[in-house]
Chain A
Amino acid sequence: MKKHLLSIDDLTIDDIDELFETAAQMHDVQGRSVKKLPALRGRTIINLFFEDSTRTRSSFEIAGKWLSADTINITGKGSSASKGESLRDTVLTICAMGVDALVMRHGASGAAKQVSEWTDAVVINAGDGTHEHPSQALLDAYTLTRHIGSLEGKHVVIVGDLTHSRVFRSNIKLLRKLQAQVTVVAPATLLPAGAKSWAESSGFAISNDLDAVLPTADAVMMLRVQKERMSGGFFPSAREYTVGYGLTKDRLALLRPDVPICHPGPMNRGLEIAADAADAAQSVVLEQVSAGVAIRMAILYHQLAGEGNDE
């Protein structure tokens, strides 16, 4: 495995298999009364989050702690960054304390990559702008494999905002690596320039008719409408998005009852996903959260436990 985890592109198929395999063992630890493994004893992990996060940050923190690493959270708000310190100075300062890994979220695409060039610590991208969020894609795919087995040839429908969503980007890359058949459903205004040629080169389909693709779906991923990244104008109203692209009660009926429904959270209930779908028996939203800890334990273990990284 490469030293840093910045993008799904950094992972080979073997890496992904090993992460999933390790995550399955880590999942068992979650059920124990003593949730502690000594593998990362003496390692220090900093969660450096310049954007809001509940589940990603807490699940990286729990993952680190269960592996016996010392994990410390630093958020953009209330850190020296708000006093005008540059990202480079912040990172160098933290790393000068002797840190083994930085788990980083930042609003700028490519921030994690940039930081990895400044430091000797392992850098794990926990979301950079509209670029990538590899651990989320890994936990989504891992959750799906637990429900529907190997994803090879399975039809996965992803619905949401392709322009702004880093989860979307990482998910498409990972699902295509695992040879799933992917259909992206998004309003034309939320497809980035070049989406067509990207679809052609990496082999996924684009549709704007959700009703037409749901009956053949083996899994559905609903993505959050990211109000904070939109300055309006992408769709006329929330109501109109729901009518065209929301997983409503009526659309739920188009799905086979064994088709898992994913949502990375936080959910906008009533906007992209109706309460009927979010709370349906086939919804795996909370499983994704527990899988998130297992996957992040697997990531931290593989990036930090041994010596001899390739880079």
Chain B
Amino acid sequence: MSTHPEPQDAAPIAGGRSVLDTNSISRALTRISHEILEHNKGAGNLVLLGIPTRGVHLANRIATRIAKVEGAQVPVGTLDITMYRDDLRDNPTRNPHRTEIPTGGIDGRTVVLVDDVLYSGRTIRAALDALNDIGRPAAVRLAVLVDRGHRELPIRADHVGKNLPSARAERVLVRLSEVDGQDEVQIS
């Protein structure tokens, strides 16, 4: 079949330069969690939606941190954007992932989209379209672990773990212990 699966368990890049290690990823997520709470004035009315696959794990980690600080469990869901991609026709068919919207939905809530890397902005454009079919949030914000630049659309992140200037030819690889056995961000 012509489908190419998402890289589960990404192998480290040989000769790649490590830009974030376990501790710095942890600190970045803690800061993002606090920023979200500060901006939202608490955990009320928040919904975190992770974009598969690694965005989902990041969303869960942020929710855990928010629970520690505020003592309140923020609803976490997943938002698959496969069917909303603008390059479906140019690539072999991809299998969609699950979209799980927390009970209570997103209508009137503040949705924080969580993804690992912000690059062209096209994934987030697709995510905004997908949200549109699910409900009408009061506001949508974006939290990413790495912003590597090179935007092709007028999209920006509200909460960024690390701004990582990169060349287009370079590869940025986010590895998370849940899928890859280890926390690391590499560039090569």
Q: A residues within 8 Å of B by Cβ?
A: 1, 12, 14-15, 18, 21-22, 24-26, 28, 32, 34, 36-39, 67, 301-302, 305-310
What A residues does B95 contact at CB under 8 A? Answer: 18, 21-22
Is B97 a contact partner of A18 (Cβ separation < 8 A)?
no
A308 in contact with B91 given A28-B98, A32-B133, A37-B133 (CB within 8 Å): yes
Contacts of A1 in B (CB 8 A): 1-3, 93
Let me know if B178 is at the binding interface, CB within 8 A: no
B80 within 8 A of A: yes
Label chain B's interface by main secondary structure: loop
B86-120 interface code vs A (CB 8 A; 1 in, 0 out) = 00111111111111000000000000000000000
Given contacts A18-B3, A25-B98, contact A306 B84 (CB under 8 A): no
Q: Indicate if the CB atoms of A39 and B88 lie closer than 8 Å.
A: yes
B90 to chain A: closest residue by CB: A307
* A32 and B134 contacting across the interface, CB-CB below 8 Å: yes
Inter-chain contact A305/B88, CB cutoff 8 Å: yes
Q: Is the CB of A305 within 8 A of B89?
A: yes
Are B98 and A307 closer than 8 Å at their CB atoms? no
With most chain A CB atoms within 10 A of its CB, the pick from B3, B83, B90, B95 is B83
Q: How far is the CA of A307 from the CA of B88 in the complex (A)?
A: 8
Q: A67 to B98, alpha carbons, bound, how many Å?
A: 16
Other-chain contact of B97, A25, A39, A306 (Cβ < 8 Å): A25
Interface string of B121-138 (1 = CB under 8 A from A): 000000001000110000
Nearest opposing residue in chain B for A38, CB measure: B84
Contact of B129 among A38, A301, A306 (CB under 8 A): A38
Q: Mark B50-89, 1 if CB is under 8 A from A, else 0.
A: 0000000000000000000000000000001011100011
Is A307 in contact with B91, judged by CB distance below 8 angstroms? yes
Q: Which residues of A contact B133 (CB under 8 A)?
A: 32, 34, 36-37
Q: Given A22-B95, A32-B133, A38-B129, does the pair A309, B88 have CB atoms closer than 8 Å?
A: no
Interface centre among B3, B82, B84, B97 (most CB of A within 10 A): B3
Whether the pair B80, A308 counts as a contact (CB closer than 8 A) is: no
CA distance A102 to B140 in the complex (A): 40
A26 to B133, CA, bound (A): 14
Smallest CB-CB A-B distances: 6 pairs = A306-B93, A39-B83, A37-B83, A308-B92, A34-B133, A25-B96
* Nearest CB of A to B74, in Å: 22
* Nearest Cβ on chain A to B81's Cβ, whole angstroms: 11
Residues on the A chain within 8 Å of B129, using CB: 38
A31 → B minimal CB distance (Å): 10
Least Cβ distance of B34 to chain A in Å?
Answer: 33
Within the complex, what minimum Cβ distance (angstroms) separates B98 from chain A? 6
- Cα–Cα distance between A12 and B96 once the two chains are bound (Å): 19
How far is A15 from B88 in the complex, measured between Cα atoms in Å? 18
> How far is A282 from B3 in the complex, measured between Cα atoms in Å?
35
Q: Are A306 and B1 interface neighbours, CB within 8 A?
A: no
B1 touches A25 (CB 8 A): no
Q: Tell me, rounded to whole Å, the shortest Cβ–Cβ distance linking A36 to chain B.
A: 6
CA of A302 to CA of B129 in the docked complex: distance in angstroms? 21
A residues in contact with B97, CB < 8 Å: 25
Chain B residue numbers with a CB within 8 Å of A306 are 2, 88-89, 91-94
A38: which B residues are within 8 A, CB to CB? 83-84, 129
* B1 and A15 form a contact (CB under 8 A): yes
Would you give 12 A-B contacts (Cβ < 8 Å), ordered by A?
A1-B2, A15-B1, A18-B1, A18-B3, A22-B96, A25-B80, A25-B96, A28-B98, A302-B1, A305-B89, A306-B88, A307-B89
Min C-beta distance of B122 to chain A, whole Å: 14
